[in-house]
C-alpha cells in the first residue's frame, strides 16, 4: 500500500555527494517551477472551457481515520467529461509551518487555497480531489483520484517540492493505493491490510457532519 520514495546518501564521500545533491535539487526546483507555470496556464484554460467542477455533495462530511483522527471535507474539485476511469487513490498530508493553531489563519488558508487549484488540476491523470482539514491536529489532507500510479507519483513528488517552504519539517507524507474506488476508500473497505504507518490515510468511515465549518 505504501510508496514513499526517499533519497539515500552514500556517506563514503559526503562533501562531493552533498554538492552533487544540492545541484540536482536546484535543477529539480527549476524544473518544478516550469511544470507548475505550465499547469497553471493549462488549468485556466480548463476553467474557461468549463472542464472543472466543485460538487457540494461531500462538503462538510467527516472522515474518521484509523489513527483516531477525524477530518472534515471543506471542498471538492473534479474534472468534467473524462473518458478514462481513475485507477489510483493518492493521499497527501501536511501541517502548515507559519499558522500554528490560529483559527483565523486556518480560515484564511482554507479560503485562499482554492487558488492552489492552478497547481494541480491540469497535471496528467488528475480526476478529483477532496480538500480535508483536521482542526484538532492542524493537519491538512488531500484525497485524490488519479488515472495511473506513475502520474500520481510524479504529481506527489512535485507537490513535495512546492510545499517544502510552507509546511512543518517532517509533516509531509503521501501514499499511493492501487485498485481502490473512492466510495470503498471513504468507507474503509480497503482490499489490503493497513500498516501502522498508513493509519493516517486509511479511513474507517465517512459520515455527514452536523457541525460544518463556517469561516473559522
158-194 pLDDT per residue, tens? 999 999 999 999 999 999 999 899 999 999 888 888 8
Among 67, 180, 181, 60, smallest CA distance to 132 is for 60
Average of pLDDT values for 95-99?
93
Concatenating the DSSP letter of every residue in 177-206 gives EES--HHHHHTT--SSPPPGGGGGG-EEEE
Report the alpha-carbon distance of residue 88 to residue 180 in Å, rounded. 7
Average of pLDDT values for 4-15?
34
Asked whether residue 89 carries a pLDDT value surpassing 90, the answer given is: yes
Among 205, 216, 86, 68, smallest CA distance to 152 is for 86
| pTM as predicted | 0.83
Asked whether residue 21 carries a pLDDT value surpassing 70, the answer given is: no
pLDDT at 20: 34
The CATH number assigned to the domain with range 14-208 reads 3.30.70.100
Among 155, 132, 118, smallest CA distance to 43 is for 118
Backbone angles phi, psi at 135, to 5 degrees: -75, -15
Asked whether residue 43 carries a pLDDT value surpassing 90, the answer given is: yes
pLDDT at 9: 29
- Confidence category of residue 24, pLDDT binned at 50, 70, 90: low
pLDDT at 193: 85
Asked whether residue 137 carries a pLDDT value surpassing 80, the answer given is: yes
Average of pLDDT values for 57-61?
94
- Per DSSP, the three-state class of 47 is helix
Taking the CA atoms of residue 117, residue 123, residue 124 and residue 125 in that order, the dihedral angle to the nearest 10 degrees is -40
pLDDT at 64: 94
pLDDT at 184: 92
To which H or E segment does residue 175 belong? strand 173-178
- Per DSSP, the three-state class of 76 is strand
- Confidence category of residue 213, pLDDT binned at 50, 70, 90: low
Computed over every residue of the chain, the mean pLDDT equals: 85
- Confidence category of residue 207, pLDDT binned at 50, 70, 90: confident
Asked whether residue 18 carries a pLDDT value surpassing 50, the answer given is: no
Angle between helix axes 149-163 and 14-48 (nearest 10 degrees) is: 110
pLDDT at 26: 63
Among 60, 61, 56, smallest CA distance to 207 is for 61
User: What is the distance of C-alpha 19 from the center of its chain?
Assistant: 30
Cβ neighbours of 206 (radius 10 Å): 19
Amino acid at each position: 500500500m505504501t510508496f514513499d520514495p526517499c533519497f539515500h546518501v552514500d556517506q563514503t564521500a559526503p562533501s562531493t555527494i552533498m554538492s552533487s545533491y544540492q545541484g540536482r535539487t536546484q535543477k529539480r526546483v527549476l524544473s518544478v517551477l516550469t511544470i507548475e507555470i505550465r499547469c497553471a496556464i493549462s488549468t485556466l484554460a480548463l476553467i474557461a472551457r468549463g472542464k472543472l467542477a466543485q460538487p457540494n455533495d461531500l462538503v462538510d462530511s467527516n472522515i474518521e481515520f484509523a489513527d483516531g483522527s477525524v477530518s472534515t471535507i471543506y471542498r471538492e474539485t473534479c474534472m468534467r467529461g473524462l473518458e478514462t476511469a481513475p485507477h489510483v487513490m493518492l493521499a497527501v498530508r501536511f501541517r502548515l509551518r507559519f499558522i500554528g493553531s490560529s483559527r483565523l489563519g486556518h480560515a484564511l488558508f482554507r479560503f485562499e487555497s482554492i487558488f492552489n487549484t492552478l497547481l494541480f488540476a491540469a497535471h496528467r491523470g488528475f480526476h478529483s480531489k477532496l480538500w480535508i482539514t483536521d482542526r484538532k491536529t492542524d493537519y491538512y489532507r488531500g484525497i485524490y483520484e488519479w488515472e495511473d500510479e506513475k502520474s500520481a507519483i510524479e504529481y506527489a513528488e512535485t507537490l513535495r517540492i512546492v510545499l517544502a517552504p510552507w509546511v512543518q519539517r517532517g509533516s509531509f507524507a503521501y501514499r499511493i493505493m492501487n485498485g481502490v474506488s473512492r466510495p470503498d476508500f471513504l468507507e474503509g473497505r480497503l482490499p489490503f491490510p493497513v500498516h501502522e504507518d498508513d493509519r493516517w490515510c486509511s479511513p474507517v468511515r465517512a459520515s455527514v457532519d452536523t457541525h460544518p465549518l463556517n469561516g473559522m
